[in-house]
């Protein structure tokens, strides 16, 4: 960690040790892994964008998180080892139904926002046509 001394409380020390233990497993799947205060290797290209988990110190790009270095075009950022799940389009998710409304269900998916499952977008097995009535909305429980 470049000899940088940072005062940490007990919780922060435990989390840092846990992250350092996870780092070799993640590093084997990626090109570069970093800990706090490590220098991120970037070429001297003009227009490098510093993203989440990075900072500039004495003309070098330095990591402010433990994680894996990710690059998207000219953007360089650190993907944290420990973070909340961020769903993307096409992901298969598992959630808990927390609210049933007339046209939609609200799901808890362990993200900062709840997911919404619109009943109008549901397709039944074998291409069966749905009658979109109040009784049908109650019967959707048997499918989901």
pLDDT higher than 50, residue 117:
yes
Joined tokens for residue 12: 């922060």
Residue-range domains of the chain with CATH = 10-80 (2.40.50.100), 96-143 (no CATH)
Q: Which residues contact 74 (CB under 8 A, 6 or more apart)?
A: 45, 47, 48, 49
Query: Taking 50 as the threshold, does the pLDDT of residue 1 lie above it?
Result: no
Contact status, residue 79 vs residue 70, Cβ threshold 8 Å:
yes
Q: What is the pLDDT of residue 28?
A: 54
CA angle, corner 91, sides to 144 and 81, nearest 5? 125
* Mean predicted confidence (pLDDT) in 119-127: 69
% of the chain at pLDDT higher than 70: 69
The pLDDT assigned to 112 comes to 81
Short-list 49, 73, 56, 53, CA closest to 64? 53
**Backbone φ, ψ for residue 20 (5° rounding):** -65, -30
pLDDT tens-digit series, residues 36-94? 888 887 777 667 888 888 998 888 889 888 888 888 888 889 888 777 777 777 778 88
For position 126, what pLDDT does the model report?
A: 67
Average pLDDT over residues 86-106: 81
């Amino acid at each position: 960690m470049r000899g940088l001394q940072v005062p940490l409380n007990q919780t922060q020390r435990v989390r840092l040790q846990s992250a350092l233990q996870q780092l070799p497993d993640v590093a084997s799947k990626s090109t570069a892994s970093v800990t706090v205060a490590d220098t991120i290797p970037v070429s001297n290209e003009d227009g490098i964008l510093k993203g989440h988990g990075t900072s500039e110190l004495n003309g070098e790009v330095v990591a402010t998180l433990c994680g894996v270095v990710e690059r998207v075009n000219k953007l360089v950022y650190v993907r944290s080892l420990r973070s909340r799940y961020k769903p993307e389009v096409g992901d298969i998710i598992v959630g808990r139904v927390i609210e049933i409304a007339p046209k939609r269900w609200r799901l808890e998916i362990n993200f900062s926002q709840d997911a919404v499952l619109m009943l109008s977008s549901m397709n039944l097995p074998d291409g069966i046509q749905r009658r979109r009535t109040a009784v049908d909305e109650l019967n959707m429980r048997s499918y989901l």
